[in-house]
Structures are given as C-alpha cells and as structure tokens.
Amino acid sequence: MSRSSAQIPVIDISPSNPNAATQLLDAAANNGFVFVENNAAAGMPPAKVKEMFDLSTKFFQGPIENKQNCPTQNNRGWVSMQQETLDPGNQKRGDFKEAFNLGEFDGNKPNQPLPEPFSTQVNTVADFSHSCHALCNKLLQLFAEALEIPSDWFSSRHDQAKGPSGSIMRLLYYPSVPDTLAPDEDDIRAGAHSDYGTLTLLFQLPGQPGLEIKTPSGEWESVPVDPHGTLLSDLSKPLPILVNIGDLLAYWTNGLLKSTVHRVIFPKDARRGGEDRYSMAYFCHPLDDAELVPVPSKRVEQYEGGIDGVKKGGKTLTAKDHLLERLAATYGTKA
C-alpha cells in the first residue's frame, strides 16, 4: 500500500518575492516542513551540491579502516551501521544507516580529525558548511520579519564568531542490506524523531525516496524528493532544498512553529534490503549558551501552544542542555 504524498509548499526566498517571510512562517506553523527554491538567493548551486555528494559517496564506499580512524566523539565523526537508535522506545534494532558528522569550521580549519577524502578537500567541505549556515541565517531573518521581532534576534544567537554551537553537517548513507542482516517488517532506516536544533537543511538525490513525515492525525505521508515532479536524473539542475523546523525553534515560538516527527523507511517497491540512498543534512544549532525562552513576538504570545520555554529543576535549559539530553537518548548513554 503506497503512502499519500505530503503537500509541502515550495517557496522562493528571492527579494522578488515580497511574501517570502509570511509564506515561510505559515508553512512552518502548518506542518513544520517547507521546500526552498535553490536559486541564487539560496546560494547552493548544483555544482557545489554535487561535489559534496561525490565526496560523501567516495568516503562511504571506501575502506572500513579509513572510517574507523575517526570514530564518533562529541557528536562528530563516523557513525557506524546501527550505532544510532533515533526512536529507542519503538525500535527493535538500531538505524540501518551510516553517517559522518562534520562540526563547525574555524574559517577553513576543521575542529576535528578528518579522514580521506575530506582531509584532502577541506576547503570544499568548509565552504559548503559555511554556505549552509548562511542560508539558515537568511531563513531565520525571514522568520524574524514575519514574527515582527528584531531582524537579528535569531541570527545573533547563531553567530559562530561568538562561541561554539552544536551545528553539524551530516553526510548520510543508507546502504542496501544483505540478506544476512535484512530488516524485519518493522525495521526502518532512521527511526521516528524530531530534529534537535533550530533548522535543518536536507539535500537529496533524484530517485532516492524514503523520507516520511507524521501528520497531526498520526498518519505517515511520503515526502517527494522533487516537489516539482520533474524526475531529474542528475543534479545538473537544482533540486529544491527541504527545510524543517527543529525543537529549538518550536520552543522559542511556544509551539507556533512545528518540530515535526519524521523517519526514513525502506521503499516498499524495492527489494527486501532496499537500495542505496544518500542524503546530506545541515543541522543548524544556536550558540551553546542560548536559552530556550519564547521570542518577544505578539503572535507567539497569543498562540496557545503551551511550551513556554523549557525548564528543568527550576532552571531554563540552554541549547547545549537540550542537545546533550537528546544525544544521550539516541546513543543509549547518560547525559
């Protein structure tokens, strides 16, 4: 039985669209996901995206010893097959995926050991990460405009020159699974979860579906790779970038903007172990010490969401507090 396709709007954030800010806010308030046209305003040209996908493919298809040289530490490095469990309450086994997490760059200098081919293409990787962060800041400024708060309310809390944050560029590989490890009916590639940060940018490849979002009614709907339905066979033309709201933007807006639960499944029409799938996600996080309190917006004040910041033991949590708690649950460790 095929899933119904989620109806996610596609928005042009160019200056020529005077309604971009309100369109973004409405989409985020309705379902937490939106496609952004990948044009000059987005600043992610197809050649740049393809270059990163090529590096990602080369890494994941490379020798295991190269991956093991950079194991996961402080949410950076290589995540092995089934090491993560994004939905620990419901999953029988860990996620059927591998990942490599790239943290922030100091200019073009990485703050972690890098394996090949990233170590020999540092400038390329750093430039891609910086471009993703710039796009996130542009989107956050549009959200600020729609919420009628100072234009830098969000972006000032994401200024990496002021201190560390949990922002991560995550390269993902969902391999086809051999029969000896083939998934059971209830196994999936990435467990149901909401994202931990502020915004997530997702870059996908044509012909590699699998992402689903959970509707308010509790049903799952598939997310198209290309909402225009052009079925591109390569990245010679830009695919729209999928943007979703993370937990922190939901907290900051008292639940007005939705941090929607999503997952990655094995395509139903593929062979039992699925087919290879690659994607890249940029998880934009605020500065570690940013507090999770509502923004000073009339619309947020009037919204009866009931989140109203996050407190624990009488203390308002920071972005880092929240991230550590979520990571502890994912990896089965103590925060």
* Range of the structural domain that residue 54 is part of: 20-331
Whether residue 43 is contained in a domain is answered as: yes
The residue that leads in pLDDT, 252 or 176, is 252
Band of pLDDT at residue 289, cut at 50, 70 and 90? very high
For the chain, how many structural domains are there in total? 1
Band of pLDDT at residue 276, cut at 50, 70 and 90? confident
Residues 229-234, mean pLDDT to the nearest whole number: 60
Give the whole-number percent of the chain exceeding pLDDT 70.
Answer: 87
Confidence at residue 274, expressed as pLDDT on a 0 to 100 scale: 63
CATH number of residue 237's parent domain? 2.60.120.330
Residues 285-300, mean pLDDT to the nearest whole number: 92
Does the pLDDT at position 40 exceed 60? yes
Whether residue 11 is contained in a domain is answered as: no
Band of pLDDT at residue 64, cut at 50, 70 and 90? very high
Whether residue 123 is contained in a domain is answered as: yes
Whether residue 1 is contained in a domain is answered as: no
Confidence at residue 90, expressed as pLDDT on a 0 to 100 scale: 84
Confidence at residue 335, expressed as pLDDT on a 0 to 100 scale: 39
Q: What is the pLDDT of residues 199-227, one digit of tens each?
A: 999 999 888 888 999 988 889 999 988 88
Residues 185-198, mean pLDDT to the nearest whole number: 82
Distance between first and last Cα of the chain:
40
Confidence at residue 244, expressed as pLDDT on a 0 to 100 scale: 95
Compute the mean pLDDT over every residue in the chain, rounded to the nearest whole number.
88
Does the pLDDT at position 269 exceed 60? no
Band of pLDDT at residue 95, cut at 50, 70 and 90? confident
Whether residue 10 is contained in a domain is answered as: no
Give CA–CA dist 190/96, Å, rounded: 7
Does the pLDDT at position 280 exceed 70? yes
Does the pLDDT at position 306 exceed 80? no
Whether residue 124 is contained in a domain is answered as: yes
Does the pLDDT at position 1 exceed 70? no
